[in-house]
Structure formats: C-alpha cells, structure tokens
Amino acid sequence: MTHAPLRTRIKFCGLTRAEDVHLACALGVDAVGFVFAARSRRRLAVDQARALRDALAPLVDAVVLFMDNDADEVRDVVHHVRPSLLQFHGDEDDAFCRGFGVPYIKAVAMGGDASADAAALEAQYPAATGFLLDSHARGESGGSGLAFDWARIPQAMHKPFLLAGGLSPDNVFDAVRATRPWGVDVSSGIESAPGIKDGARMRRFVEEVCRADRLDR
C-alpha cells in the first residue's frame, strides 16, 4: 500500500460466546470471526454463529472463516449468518471465493517452506479485497498461536494485508511497528482455552495496538 494506515484495524477471531462478542464490541474492535473450518476446535454450528452475529453492535463486521469447505456449506452459512466478509484458508481459487456475493480475503500460508510473492498473489486472487498472512504451512490449519518470521512479508503489497499467527498482547505492539499492517487478527493469544476468550487479554491486546498507533500521531 502507498500509505500506512493511521489506525490499525483489529479482528478477534474464533469467538464462540456472546459475552466475548459483547466485550469485543465494547473494546472497539473492527471485526469478529466465526470459524467453520472442519477440524477446528472453535468450529460453530450455523445457528450458534447466527446468534453471535445478532449480538454484534453496529459497525462491527462479522467475518466467517472457511478452509476447503464445500460450496453448499459456504452458501448455507452466508445465507443464515449474513457475514460482511469471508475468509478462506484452504486451496480455494478466486472463482470459488468470489462466488458467494460477499467480499473476501484470502489467507496466505507463511509457515513451513512457503514463500509469498505480492504480484503473484494479486494475480491469482484478483477479486480479493485483501490478504491475511498467517503462520500455518500450506494445507495445515491455523489458529495455532505460532508466529512466523515477519521479515518474510512480501514487499510492495498493493492490497491491504492483515497480520495473523501467534499475535498476543505481548508482541502485537512490536508486530504493528515492524510490519505496518492494515489490520491484525488474533485468536489463541487472547484465549484461556480454544474458543474461550480472556477479557483481560482482549483489553490489553487492543490497548497495545492503540499504543503502537499513537506513535504516528
């Protein structure tokens, strides 16, 4: 991107409880994520996700996360949960990702021996509104709480990117200062157990992102 944003967007992912959704909104996060990846310990049923989506405050986005789910399931989730953004973590191609009438971001595997090239990514996913750089290796699930080497972030990304993978209240200040992402996405680092968010960690995460952003004002 030409200009670094003045404010780093925050997405909390893998929420499973209404009280965590309420606190996320009160803390001012921009988006919350609901997981439909098959093997995830944070996976929701459609009606659970719909109830959590209905608990959102205005102007907070609902993002739903998939990993090689079939098209019928994605359609069903989109119809019932009405997300504002889709997040794909698997081998889905651009035609699949854009086929549901909802904007999408594509997760990019930055772990293992994966390497990412900005121009190639943007050519492969022309309809993506942005990319989410995550620490898992290709074909593996995310949400592991592990970070990747931020020096491997491709230079000259034109589309916004979200930094993910192993972020926590302890490292997100450094992550934002080092990488200047459009947004940050966190799951494990604000949890006490998979899908169970910890209020104090949620709050401290937001405070640390704001502290990093304030240095630019």
C-beta closer to ligand LGQLAAA5: residue 62 or 186? 186
Catalytic-residue membership of 13: yes
Q: Which of 10, 167, 202, 212 binds ligand LGQLAAA5 (CB under 6 A)?
A: 167
Give the x/- contact pattern for ligand LGQLAAA5 in 4-33, rule: CB under 6 A. ---------xx------------------x
C-beta closer to ligand LGQLAAA5: residue 23 or 37? 37
Parallel, antiparallel or unpaired: strands 196-197 and 191-193: antiparallel
Q: Does 106 bind ligand LGQLAAA5 (CB under 6 A)?
A: no
Stretch near ligand LGQLAAA5 under the rule CB under 6 A, chosen from 24-32, 44-52, 98-106, 135-143: 135-143
Closest chain position to ligand LGQLAAA5 (CB): 143
In this structure, the number of other CB atoms found within 10 A of the CB of residue 123 comes to: 10
Near ligand LGQLAAA5 in 58-97, by CB under 6 A: 65, 67, 89
Q: Which residues are catalytically annotated?
A: 13, 134
